[in-house]
Structure 1
């Protein structure tokens, strides 16, 4: 009798993208589509920055992307991001209309938010990571 095991794996340890790739290589019995990594924490931080800038609910911001590992080299990308408005979906870049803010303050804030929290609180942002893991799992 054939027994199938279904597994969804969420890699949290950084560098998460790299560790997910290593897992994929060394656990070939787990389907590639079932391996994800946690960049949701950075994603949530990007959505929060956009929603604050535009004075909209964070739930209305869609399609922001985080490229790279959870580090100061990641790239929060708003090129496909939209915001729900009463006139439909509008591109974030069009609504913000400030490429300088997007290319400097926004990116730096998202990249360095974890370090800023640790510096301010003298504690890690572990609760933010746990909350993000829950958000990530709900999307799967």
Structure 2
């Protein structure tokens, strides 16, 4: 994700980075999940999940991330460059588009590879599913 959904009439620009919002709806999953939520811009991640469905959340981005809606017992790690975390990460896609240049391809690969590396370090697990978009308002996990 690059950015969440903004209030009508509000957009980010140089030096102005308002919070966007993304709702993450977790359904009746077979096994509890670890959510890894990333965005370049600041996002308020609103998680809707049955009790016990989410066992951990890692929210990381260039700008600060916020997570709402979970039981306070669910561990939430917040990482961002803005907060001074040198190990922050974010990626909105696995590969650059076919019409993009070599620099964009290399940057996209670097960001995704960094995400994979950090998720393994932090969770001791591989990514089971990746969803990336430039902007979004709702994701569903079933």
TM-score (norm 1): 0.32
The structure carrying a bigger helix percent of its residues is: 1
TM-score (norm 2): 0.31
The structure carrying a bigger strand percent of its residues is: 2
Q: Which has the higher contact order (CA 8 A, sep 6+)?
A: 2
